[in-house]
Amino acid sequence: MAAPLIQLQDVHLTFGGTPLLAGAELALSEGERICLVGRNGSGKSTLLKIAAGLVEFDRGSRAIAPAATLRYLPQEPDLSGFATTSAFVEAGLTAGDDPYRARYLLERLGLSGEENTAALSGGEARRAALARVLAPSPDILLLDEPTNHLDLPAIEWLEDELRAMRSALVLISHDRRFLEGLSRATVWLDRGRTRRLEQGFGAFEEWRDKVLEEEERDRHKLDRRIAMEEDWVRYGVTARRKRNQGRMARLADLRQQRRDARRSVGQVRMAASEAQASGALVIEASHLSKSFGDNAVVEDFSLRVMRGDRVGIVGPNGSGKTTLLNLLIGRLDPDQGELRLGTNLQIQTLDQRRATLAPQLTLAAFLTDGRGDTISVNGASRHVSGYMRDFLFAPEQLRTPVSVLSGGERGRLMLAKAFAAPSNLLILDEPTNDLDLETLELLQELLADYSGTVLLVSHDRDFIDRVVTSTVLAEGDGRFVEYAGGYSDMVAQRGSGVAPKAPRMSPATPAKATASPARSEPATARRKLSFKEKHALETLPGQISALEERIAMLRNALSDDNLYARDPKRFGELADAMTKAQTDLHAAEETWIELEILRQELGG
């Protein structure tokens, strides 16, 4: 067997008195593709940073093959010190690397290379970081959640790109389809230690369940042995003045074994509070259209949703999925068409931006709307501490501000809030963001048992396949088409997956328009900005400023800790207004950018 390119042995690391890693190991040989899995907070990212040489450990060893090149993708890349995305990516190249590959990767990831790094969104920064680590084609690739902020076309492209590379790979991801497509071995980090399965992620879940069942049997045997020894201590020495010290020592050892056997962390227990059934017809949309300026986001869309349907909406970023969702539930008025909502609807929404998560609220105040320490779940009153435990929050987190929660914890908190309130129509906009694999499984089980109706936006192909009964695809130019079944069924029916939006042209990239100046000049002369486009260019900056001021005002109002208790209806109105303002701001900014690019292309 070839020597590993990188090897970690018996790695120990303790944070704040709690062991995070207790003998963890990782070995990666040439060409291997390993997925690193485990619950949120189990130490996966820390172990990857140790492998990258970025974190010091307390005990153990790290070895890397001489001359092996290594690149590491963090969850939160730092682009400070670089003026543009191309400068950031090219700085990761070494002598002999192909600079044209850096440009190719930037463009495939939707970047021109000229973006100001100080003004990047989190998604754009992550795409630039991906281009930087992939460009050199290193011997070792360590990728921590590479699909975060990527849409379906980008995820599928990245999967193909990694499959074609010769780099050895260690991959952390919550996207099961992505893991199944790339991994050839699985390392499970659980309670500080690692176990290795010489098969890809597709075989992991069945293997994990068997391991946990064996542990439970062993624990049961140990408990029985302790009970037998304790019975001997109490009743087997009544005729003796001195107890058998060997038996006493054995009992002490058994008790120590039970203390040392750190049990698996409890599982999330989800149950949605279901309201009285809605009418048979939930949503009937007829020829809906919605435009922002001259940008047609939804064009002539019709859909009928019946009680119990689970409809998934998929498409590239910026294709109008969230806009369509808001049109279908009446949160956004269409320009044309009619919408009819069914009777007795009780709607609960999980917003991908998590706008209702006021950062200054405590977890208890957020879940109870500031009304003491109890919460109503399925008509029964529960103490908020016990309900929080169902979603893996410790009792000491009861008074923790929302602002200090991790992304995964915020996702679980939003699920806890959405599922506590009675509903018969669930609106889930990117519900899988930051959730670990076990929580995803339980969310799927809950939705399978939910008797109401579900509208879902997601980039997770496996999640869509397991949950939905029909899939609505953004075909482009405002067109949405419904297909029966999940994502895989949609691909089978149309012969392809989600197509990417038309890429932005880089100033440094040769384009058809610059290949023949003589032809482009007459075309430019014929095309001018319309009156509506000129008017939009002049008025949109003012609208954007007004929306930004409104969002700041709403955010300030929602940060009031006592607003829930004083006026819960007012809090709900403000939260809805915040969601609408953020949607309008995003649409206005996108429209202005497109018009400004057009103006520059036309020389206006």
Domain check: are 597 and 482 in the same one?
no
In this structure, how many other beta carbons lie within 10 angstroms of the beta carbon of residue 241? 5
User: Distance (Å, rounded) from C-alpha 323 to C-alpha 331?
Assistant: 9
Domain annotation covers residue 395: yes
Which three-class secondary structure state does DSSP give residue 143? strand
Q: Are 338 and 287 in contact (CB under 8 A)?
A: yes
Range of the domain at 285: 281-494
Domain check: are 58 and 106 in the same one?
yes
Which three-class secondary structure state does DSSP give residue 167? coil
Strand partners, 380: 377
Domain annotation covers residue 398: yes
Q: Are 13 and 58 in contact (CB under 8 A)?
A: yes
H/E stretch holding 257? helix 245-260
DSSP characters for 472-532?
EEEEETTEEEEEESSHHHHHHHHSS-PPPPPPPPPTTS--HHHH-HHHHHHHHHH----HH
For residue 520, what are the contacts with CB-CB under 8 A and spacing of at least 6? 513, 514
Domain check: are 317 and 372 in the same one?
yes
Query: Mean pLDDT per 10-residue run, the chain (604 residues)?
Result: 87 83 94 91 90 94 94 90 93 88 90 89 86 94 90 90 94 92 94 93 90 78 67 54 55 56 53 70 93 88 93 89 91 92 86 63 83 79 84 79 74 80 86 77 81 91 91 91 92 83 44 35 49 78 84 79 75 77 76 72 60
Domain annotation covers residue 55: yes
CATH number reported for the structural domain that contains residue 588 in this entry:
1.10.287.380
Domain annotation covers residue 172: yes
**Residue 63 token pair:** 């070895």
Domain check: are 255 and 396 in the same one?
no
Domain check: are 198 and 217 in the same one?
no
**Residue 512 token pair:** 């058809």
CATH number reported for the structural domain that contains residue 48 in this entry:
3.40.50.300
φ and ψ at residue 188, rounded to 5 degrees? -105, 120
Q: What does DSSP say about strands 140-144 and 70-73: parallel, antiparallel, or unpaired?
A: parallel
Kindly give the interhelix angle for 99-108 and 122-134, rounded to the nearest 10 degrees.
150
Domain check: are 176 and 217 in the same one?
no
Domain check: are 309 and 405 in the same one?
yes
Domain annotation covers residue 269: no
Domain check: are 192 and 289 in the same one?
no
Domain check: are 245 and 190 in the same one?
no
Please give the tally of structural domains in the chain: 4
Domain check: are 89 and 168 in the same one?
yes
Domain annotation covers residue 503: no
DSSP characters for 568-600?
HHHHHHHHHHHHHHHHHHHHHHHHHHHHHHHHH
Kindly give the interhelix angle for 122-134 and 152-164, rounded to the nearest 10 degrees.
10
* Torsion sign across C-alpha atoms 588, 589, 590, 596: positive
Domain annotation covers residue 59: yes
Strand partners, 340: 284
Measure the CA angle with vertex 537, ends 534 and 542; round to 5°.
Answer: 135
Domain annotation covers residue 73: yes
Domain check: are 247 and 361 in the same one?
no
Domain check: are 484 and 532 in the same one?
no
